[in-house]
């Protein structure tokens, strides 16, 4: 799976244009699921522009309640009605700037499942945590707490995105060996909690400064099943190159 996280970028018309060009650029391509996550305001129109193409649509976040007095928030019901099949949950920017915690991430994953949305569940360590040799313990906690109380049969199609915080938008990509080491660890933790078969079925994406020049190397690793792409997903040709690597 190659997923494009557009973050807080693009005007309405630009978003529609971008997705149309991406769809044209990767038409007929087999063997890869492609997903785009536009800002909320653009979802319905992007869905319409996608027509019958197989590109999946994701929200960048969602609130855990279905509706109510939560000014400025967006619910799972809303993004489903706009045409989403997936939702990004727990992105490090949400954790860093909007006070999301493992507990709120867990509530949102539970709510996503209730709406039959596939969660793209993001985890990742900061530079300080990596330097303090805390990478694995941080990730273990994020995964354990994020999925707490959720049964494996509710996590069919689960996507996990490993995004080292120090690699997001910095131009510093984890080496393919660093990514593989973490992905293997994450799969091992999933196997311990849910069994090996389930762990094999989970797609673990790498995210953090993915670009056409490093995608092939990352994807050559056994446990790297795709990428979550930020900056490089905003330009159709660049994103298509990543999808087609």
Give the single-character DSSP code of 75.
B
Member of 155, 204, 228, 242 binding ligand PGA (CB under 6 A) = 228
**Which of 66, 213 has the CB closer to ligand PGA?**
213
Which residue lies nearer to ligand PGA by CB, 120 or 194?
Answer: 120
Residues 181-220: x where in contact with ligand PGA by CB under 6 A, - otherwise, as a string: --------------------------xxxx----------
- Binds ligand PGA by CB under 6 A, chosen from 155, 229, 242, 243: 229
91 flagged as catalytic? yes
- Binding to ligand PGA (CB under 6 A) within 24-83 occurs at none
Nearer to ligand PGA, 76 or 231 (CB): 231
CA 196/CA 99 separation, integer angstroms: 33
Q: Which of 211, 128, 203 is nearest to 165 (CA)?
A: 128
Looking only at residues 119 through 178 of this chain, which bind ligand PGA when binding is defined by CB under 6 A? Answer: 163, 168-169
Q: For residues 113 and 189, give the distance between their C-alpha atoms in angstroms, rounded to a whole number.
A: 21
List the beta bridge partners of residue 119: 87
Q: Which of 42, 63, 86, 91 is catalytic?
A: 91
**Residue 144: Cβ within 10 Å count:** 14
Euclidean distance between CA atoms 40 and 52, whole angstroms: 21
Nearer to ligand PGA, 202 or 210 (CB): 210
Helix (H, G, I), strand (E, B), or coil: what is residue 241? Answer: helix
Question: With contact defined as beta carbons under 8 Å apart, do 49 and 16 qualify?
Answer: yes
Q: Hey, which residues are catalytic here?
A: 91, 163
User: Where does this chain bind ligand PGA (CB under 6 A)?
Assistant: 5, 163, 168-169, 207-210, 228-232
């Amino acid at each position: 799976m190659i997923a494009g996280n557009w973050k807080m970028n693009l005007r309405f018309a630009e978003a529609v244009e971008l997705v149309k060009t991406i769809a044209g650029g990767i038409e007929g391509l087999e063997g890869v699921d492609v997903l785009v996550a536009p800002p909320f305001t653009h979802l319905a129109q992007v869905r319409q522009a996608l027509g019958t193409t197989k590109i999946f649509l994701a929200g960048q976040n969602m609130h855990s309640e279905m509706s109510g007095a939560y000014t400025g928030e967006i619910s799972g019901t809303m993004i489903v009605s706009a045409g989403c099949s997936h939702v990004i949950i727990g992105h490090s920017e949400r954790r860093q700037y909007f006070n999301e915690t493992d507990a709120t991430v867990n509530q949102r994953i539970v709510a996503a499942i209730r709406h039959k949305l596939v969660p793209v569940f993001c985890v990742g360590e900061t530079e300080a945590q990596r330097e303090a040799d805390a990478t694995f313990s941080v990730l273990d906690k994020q995964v354990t707490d994020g999925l707490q109380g959720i049964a494996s049969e509710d996590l069919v199609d689960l996507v996990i995105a490993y995004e080292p915080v120090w690699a997001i938008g910095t131009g510093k990509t984890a080496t393919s060996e660093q990514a593989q080491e973490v992905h293997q660890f994450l799969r091992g933790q999933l196997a311990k909690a849910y069994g090996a078969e389930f762990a094999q079925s989970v797609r673990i994406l790498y995210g953090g400064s993915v670009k056409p020049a490093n995608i092939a190397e990352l994807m050559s690793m056994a446990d790297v099943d795709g990428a979550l792409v930020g900056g490089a997903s905003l330009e159709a040709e660049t994103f298509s190159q990543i999808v087609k690597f």
